[in-house]
Amino acid sequence: MEIVIVVGIIAGSLAAILGVATMFLVTSQIVQQTSKASALGEEAMEIVRNYRDGTNWSSSGLGQVTLGSPYHPEQSGGSPPAWILVAGSETINEFTRQIQFEEVFRDGNDNIAQSGSIDPDTIQAIVQVSWEERGRSHEVELVAYFANWNQ
């Protein structure tokens, strides 16, 4: 009888250890994927900054993007290549990345606000990087404001 109890305790302990190890592996994978997604999002923000700096805001730059529509970055075929924004999202390995732009409002004190007058020289960029892991959806979202500093 004692042997049966000891075997039961050992089997239960092993099952608990395997459960905890599995949880750590899954958590580690999610952390690794989140880190990769964050890096892709930060890369997209740097590309938007580079795009803003290399274009004319009102004629060929961020002042001309379609608000609320998804974009993704691509390098042009020129020499030297430059970053351009192309309509739609892109897939990088298991990740889907897109950039959306929204208008920015200013209040009476010239602070960014939820409503007020539209600031034509500032735009909000929202980078979303999403992926599926074991049937569950995950997303990293980064937000930044870009100003027409070359006016």
What integer pLDDT is reported at residue 5 of this predicted model?
85
What integer pLDDT is reported at residue 58 of this predicted model?
86
- Is a pLDDT exceeding 80 seen at residue 29? yes
Q: Which of 148, 150, 147, 130 is nearest to 138 (CA)?
A: 130
- Is a pLDDT exceeding 90 seen at residue 23? no
Type of residue found at 108: G
Question: Residue 151: which pLDDT band, with cuts at 50, 70 and 90?
Answer: low
What integer pLDDT is reported at residue 77 of this predicted model?
81
CA distances from 63 to 8, 19, 39, 104, 136 (A): 69, 53, 26, 12, 36
What integer pLDDT is reported at residue 14 of this predicted model?
85
Question: Cα separation of 47 and 72, whole Å?
Answer: 10
φ/ψ of 3, rounded to 5, equals: -65, -40
- DSSP for residue 148: -
Pair 114, 21: CB distance under 8 Å = no
What integer pLDDT is reported at residue 107 of this predicted model?
93
Q: HSE of 95 in the Cβ direction (CA atoms, 13 Å)? A: 21
Q: Between 24 and 53, whose confidence is greater?
A: 53
Tally the domains of the chain.
1
User: Could you read off the pLDDT of 45-103 as tens digits, one per residue?
Assistant: 999 999 999 889 988 889 889 999 999 999 988 788 889 999 999 999 999 999 999 99
Q: What residue numbers bound the domain in which 73 lies?
A: 2-147
The overall average pLDDT reported for the chain is 91
Question: Cα separation of 45 and 50, whole Å?
Answer: 9
- Is a pLDDT exceeding 90 seen at residue 3? no
